[in-house]
């Protein structure tokens, strides 16, 4: 009673074939499979598993904590309560894990959040099930997590009506992912088991899932992802890009959505430039959200307020004592967003833009300004700090093009500068010429020379999120090495050293030689040029002065 799925076989990273089969199709049509579970389960689609049970189990556990991995419409999952069990169930299965989580949507003005019960069951011999039971809707803005939800009995209000299930979730009462081991075969490349997707349907949906229906397409997508992710785990997939090192993901996502709903529509509607507004608007909203949370950790206030959505962030959270300076501010949108959120600062560029009058009318400070490298390099004591920027300011280089390499130098020559973030885009040198890459790659001897130390300790990834740089000098160097290599080394073995990575190494050298501790962050923004070079503390004050002066004088 099975029919081959109409989808063509897909290949995962290790070329393990994906050959799905529909479980409810035959030429006669209406065939349903009833299982002993209550309510009845309907088998939907299955495929051979070219991976072991433990690979499947690791994938399923990761999906519980990261539901966004199988739906781009889900922002994240929020675990309310979880428990480990050793409870024997029917058919020799044992309940091992149970939790209740809330699914948070990306489109908060369209979709609602939803509670879901998740359980893991297996029999100890390689047969297992992960079951997701649909519970009631729950919105983050109106309901706080309940850490005792599993200790309370469910009632009629906890079971949703069919029309209450959010769009991003299959329109079913429950979903099950199952793994069934197969007898070992001597044939090379033989499958190790069978994986399947089952549904508990709402009564109005009958007892079948058509392959061409939305539920059928959803089941196919879930099975394919389960196959791909499990094969990836079996082949020791290593995450290539680490996000959320300096700023927590959950806080960033929430603030980004808040700022997007607040500013994106009006800014896009009034966009005066000829460039595509959607690219710039969503990118700068993401950078603004990230900066605000970085400053919140860098400049804590005595009383940490909860975040009322009606308040401006700058009115309740910390900010740079000397304000911010957007170096090469371009269209001025980032300055406008930060100003609207209550942060004091300004931006400058070599020429004004069409959008400046609009943002200036709303309170943004935007200036046409040029600086003289010779003045910055002055050795006269009275102008030792000659950047001309406010004392205690925090510098921003947001795709500043020709000014990108000057950001760390300007920061080092600014009195009591509180740090900077530098996001390179087009590759320019200090001399104002196009960057010509070399084939050299970053090594520890280079870092040691830039830092004026004998050797660099073995690099290590810092604890995440790294809210403040380590106070221990040796530990800080181990983190610095990791940050430097992640920004300048190809993410995959065999990948050629690109011009982009060579330029990152150039920016990293200026960053460190200017006396700043190096940290990097892969920002969650819609841009391939999303690597941010971050300075929150200086390395050594004396090094700042002498090294910077040498760098600038050599340039001149």
Q: DSSP assignment, residue 14?
A: T
Calpha distance 444→447 (Å, rounded): 5
Mean pLDDT of 233-246: 82
Assess whether pLDDT exceeds 60 at residue 56: yes
Shared domain check, 177 and 209: yes
User: Judging by DSSP bridges, how do beta strands 42-49 and 74-88 pair with one another?
Assistant: unpaired
Closest CA to 506 of 444, 450, 448, 445: 450
Closest CA to 447 of 511, 383, 397: 511
Closest CA to 289 of 254, 320, 329: 254
16 found inside a domain? no
Count Cβ atoms below 10 Å from residue 447 Cβ, excluding itself.
Answer: 22
**Domain final position from 235, 269, 295:** 235
Supply the range of the domain harboring residue 66.
Answer: 21-145+153-235
226 found inside a domain? yes
Domains in the chain, number: 2
Shared domain check, 31 and 101: yes
244 found inside a domain? no
Closest CA to 61 of 82, 75, 47: 82
Shared domain check, 205 and 310: no
Assess whether pLDDT exceeds 80 at residue 302: no
User: Which tokens in the block code for residue 480?
Assistant: 């610095």
Shared domain check, 187 and 268: no
What are the tens digits of pLDDT across the range 391-450? 999 999 999 999 999 999 999 889 899 999 999 999 999 888 999 987 777 888 888 888
Shared domain check, 280 and 217: no
Calpha distance 478→463 (Å, rounded): 12
- CA distances to 375, 378, 385, 386, 556 from 382, in Å: 12, 9, 8, 9, 21
Assess whether pLDDT exceeds 50 at residue 383: no
pLDDT at 14: 45
Shared domain check, 278 and 227: no
Higher pLDDT, 91 or 500: 500
Shared domain check, 267 and 134: no
CB 138 within 8 A of CB 102: yes
CB 338 within 8 A of CB 313: no
What CATH number is given to the structural domain containing 111?
3.30.530
Assess whether pLDDT exceeds 70 at residue 75: yes
**Domain final position from 235, 260, 290:** 235
pLDDT band at 380 (very low <50, low <70, confident <90, very high): low
The backbone torsions φ and ψ at residue 17, rounded to the nearest 5 degrees and listed phi first, read -70, 145
Calpha distance 190→487 (Å, rounded): 40
User: Which tokens in the block code for residue 141?
Assistant: 């803005």
Calpha distance 129→385 (Å, rounded): 65
Assess whether pLDDT exceeds 90 at residue 310: no
3 found inside a domain? no
Mean pLDDT of 203-207: 77
pLDDT at 2: 52
Calpha distance 479→537 (Å, rounded): 13
Shared domain check, 287 and 169: no
User: Which tokens in the block code for residue 207?
Assistant: 């007892």
Mean pLDDT of 51-62: 94
pLDDT band at 207 (very low <50, low <70, confident <90, very high): confident
Shared domain check, 287 and 362: yes
118 found inside a domain? yes
Q: What is the pTM of this model?
A: 0.80
The CA-based diameter of the chain, rounded to the nearest angstrom, is 93
Higher pLDDT, 129 or 386: 129
Please enumerate, as own/partner, the contacts of 151-156 that have beta carbons within 8 Å and a separation of 24 or more.
Answer: 151/81
4 found inside a domain? no
Please enumerate, as own/partner, the contacts of 354-361 that have beta carbons within 8 Å and a separation of 24 or more.
Answer: 354/272, 354/273, 355/271, 355/272, 355/273, 355/331, 356/331, 356/332, 358/270, 358/272, 359/332, 359/333, 359/335
200 found inside a domain? yes
pLDDT at 259: 95
Lowest-confidence segment of 143-157, 184-198, 409-423 by average pLDDT: 184-198
pLDDT at 554: 64
What are the tens digits of pLDDT across the range 247-299? 999 999 999 999 999 999 999 999 999 998 988 999 999 999 999 999 999 99
Higher pLDDT, 542 or 49: 49
The number of CA neighbours under 13 Å toward the Cβ of 492 is 4
**Domain final position from 205, 235, 265:** 235
Of all residues in the chain, the percent with pLDDT exceeding 70 is: 85
Shared domain check, 324 and 226: no
Lowest-confidence segment of 205-219, 374-388, 475-489 by average pLDDT: 374-388
pLDDT band at 530 (very low <50, low <70, confident <90, very high): very high
Calpha distance 356→364 (Å, rounded): 8
Shared domain check, 485 and 366: yes
What are the tens digits of pLDDT across the range 21-48? 998 643 333 333 343 445 688 999 999 9
15 found inside a domain? no
Shared domain check, 374 and 333: yes
Mean pLDDT of 91-108: 92
């Amino acid at each position: 009673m099975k029919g081959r799925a109409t989808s063509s076989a897909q290949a995962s990273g290790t070329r393990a074939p994906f050959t799905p089969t529909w479980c409810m199709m035959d030429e006669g049509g209406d065939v349903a499979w009833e299982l002993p579970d209550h309510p009845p389960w309907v088998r939907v689609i299955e495929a051979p598993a070219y991976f072991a049970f433990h690979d499947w189990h690791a994938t399923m556990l990761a999906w519980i904590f990261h539901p966004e991995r199988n739906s781009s419409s889900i922002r994240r999952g929020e675990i309310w309560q979880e428990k480990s069990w050793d409870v024997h169930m029917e058919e020799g299965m044992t309940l091992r894990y149970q939790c209740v989580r809330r699914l948070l949507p990306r489109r908060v003005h369209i979709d609602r959040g939803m509670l879901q019960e998740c359980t893991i069951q297996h029999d100890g011999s390689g047969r297992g099930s992960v079951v997701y039971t649909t519970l009631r809707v729950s919105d983050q803005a109106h309901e706080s997590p309940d850490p005792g939800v599993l200790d309370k009995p469910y009632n009629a209000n906890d079971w949703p009506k069919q029309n209450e299930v959010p769009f991003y979730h299959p329109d079913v009462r429950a979903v099950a992912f199952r793994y069934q081991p197969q007898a070992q075969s001597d044939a090379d490349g033989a499958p190790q088991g069978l994986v399947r997707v089952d549904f508990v349907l709402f009564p109005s949906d009958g007892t079948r899932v058509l392959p061409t229906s939305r539920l059928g397409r959803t089941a196919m997508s879930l099975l394919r992802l389960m196959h791909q992710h499990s094969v990836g785990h079996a082949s020791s997939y290593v995450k290539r890009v680490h996000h959320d090192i300096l700023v927590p993901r959950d806080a960033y996502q929430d603030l980004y959505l808040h700022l997007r709903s607040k500013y994106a529509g009006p800014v896009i509607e009034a966009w005066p430039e000829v460039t595509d507004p959607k690219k710039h608007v969503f990118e700068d909203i993401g950078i603004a959200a990230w900066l605000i949370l970085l400053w919140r950790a860098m400049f804590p206030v005595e009383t940490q307020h909860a975040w009322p959505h009606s308040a401006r962030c700058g009115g309740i959270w910390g900010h740079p004592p000397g304000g911010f300076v957007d170096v090469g501010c371009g269209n001025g949108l980032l300055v406008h967003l930060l100003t609207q959120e209550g942060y004091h600062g300004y931006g400058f560029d070599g020429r004004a833009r069409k959008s400046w009058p609009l943002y200036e009318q709303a309170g943004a400070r935007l200036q046409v300004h040029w600086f003289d490298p010779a003045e910055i390099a002055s050795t006269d004591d009275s102008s030792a700090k000659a950047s001309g920027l406010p004392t205690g300011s925090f510098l921003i280089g947001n795709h500043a093009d020709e000014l990108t390499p000057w950001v760390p130098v300007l920061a080092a020559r600014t009195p009591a500068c509180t740090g900077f973030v530098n996001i390179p885009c087009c590759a320019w040198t200090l001399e104002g010429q196009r960057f010509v890459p070399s084939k050299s790659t970053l090594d520890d001897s280079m870092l040691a020379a830039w830092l004026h130390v004998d050797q660099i300790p073995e690099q290590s990834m810092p604890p995440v999120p790294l809210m403040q740089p380590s106070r221990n000098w040796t530990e800080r160097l181990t983190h610095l090495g990791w940050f430097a290599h992640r920004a300048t080394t190809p993410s995959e073995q065999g990948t050629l050293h690109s011009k982009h990575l060579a330029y990152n190494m150039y920016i990293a050298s200026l960053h460190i030689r200017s006396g700043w501790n190096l940290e990097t962050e892969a920002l969650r923004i819609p841009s391939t040029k999303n690597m941010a070079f971050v300075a929150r503390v200086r390395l050594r004050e004396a090094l700042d002065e002498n090294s910077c002066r040498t760098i600038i004088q050599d340039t001149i």
